[in-house]
Amino acid sequence: MGLADTFRGIFQSFGMDVSRSNSLLIVTTFCLLPLCLLKNLAALAPFSLAGIVAMLFAGCVMAARYLGGGYALGSGEGLEAGGRFLADVAEEFVPKFGSDGAMSVFRPGTFVFVCMLSTAFMAHFNAPKFYLELKDNTVPRFNRVVNMSFLFSVLIQAAIMAVGFLTFGTASSGLVLNNYSPRDALVSVARIAVAFSVVFTYPMPFVGCRDGVLDLMEIPRERRTDAYVNSVTVTLLGLVTAAALKFSDISFVLSFGGATLGNALIYVFPALMFRGAVRSMGESATEGLKRETTVAAAHMVLGVVLGTLGAIYAVKGTGGGH
């Protein structure tokens, strides 16, 4: 979904008017499908670091455009009085700013934002795979890697969100690069960098999803031949592509997905698993572990409440695309 908008923006930068649907079909057929059919994702490992560099570059470009005032509103009438790229921005993406300030955090749309954050940091299904592939994979070392990785991700995401909102305010698109002018050469390079990052990291969560589906279907290992796995890959990727063609608002998908699956993975399932593990220990469970089950249950209830409210406001469109 994000790739469709990103590649459409790239095509527009080169003067090609390619529809969103055709952009999605092109990138799925010629980029995503061959990568998802790979039997060993180790070849993509170098691209993970390159993807991080690409995202950092995109963030720096956004910061440069904000600090340089290229999309700032002018004091006069008309978009021509603003920044040098403002006149090329689509009407729905022209910067809009209110006067509520910090009080905006008490609006219902905050629940939608929290659910989006649930989606942003949802990588639980790949944890066992990463642990097994980690060099010197002790639990303390794994914890250090995870903590540093998530901290780095939080800092990058917070900085990009802040710069995007400071530039476009409530007009910020769910995919903020949509806000920028197709004639902005530096942003066009940033779009290419983001596309590069997403394309080459896409197979990692996809393979986790595919393996999870095979496990849910209870397909034995001996039946998982190359031909069978390839057919499942094509089917799942086709379903994902069909959904992306149907839903064009990435902010709705992120918020509703975060409110349902995201909250379940982050708040509900871990609490249930922990409670089950402590219960299976019987009398050998310490008092500290038993007390911790109460805290886990409270987190689960919090997740259910946040997820319910987030899903309601996502469907109502309270959060908009911002």
Are both 186 and 87 inside the same structural domain?
A: yes
- Dump pLDDT digits (tens) for 246-279: 877 777 777 788 888 888 888 898 899 999 999 9
Q: Is 98 inside any structural domain?
A: no
Are both 7 and 85 inside the same structural domain?
A: yes
Are both 241 and 160 inside the same structural domain?
A: no
Which of 248, 277, 304 terminates a domain? The answer is: 248
- Find the helix or strand (DSSP H, E) in which 241 lies: helix 226-246
- The pLDDT value recorded for residue 76 is 61
Are both 3 and 74 inside the same structural domain?
A: yes
Among 21-35, 37-51, 152-166, name the one with the lowest average pLDDT.
37-51
Q: Is 314 inside any structural domain?
A: yes
Are both 226 and 260 inside the same structural domain?
A: no
> Which of 190, 182, 189 has the alpha carbon at shortest distance from 88?
182
Are both 131 and 264 inside the same structural domain?
A: yes
Which of 248, 263, 289 terminates a domain? The answer is: 248
Tokens at residue 102, please?
């910090």
> Which of 57, 36, 74, 85 has the alpha carbon at shortest distance from 200?
36
Q: What is the mean pLDDT of residues 283-308?
A: 88
Are both 260 and 296 inside the same structural domain?
A: yes
Which of 248, 271, 297 terminates a domain? The answer is: 248
Are both 3 and 132 inside the same structural domain?
A: no
Are both 167 and 20 inside the same structural domain?
A: no
Looking at the structure of the chain, the number of domains it has is 2
**Residue-range definition of the domain harbouring residue 311:** 103-171+249-322
- The pLDDT value recorded for residue 319 is 45
Q: Is 5 inside any structural domain?
A: yes
3-state secondary structure 20-36: HHHHHHHHHHHHHHHHH
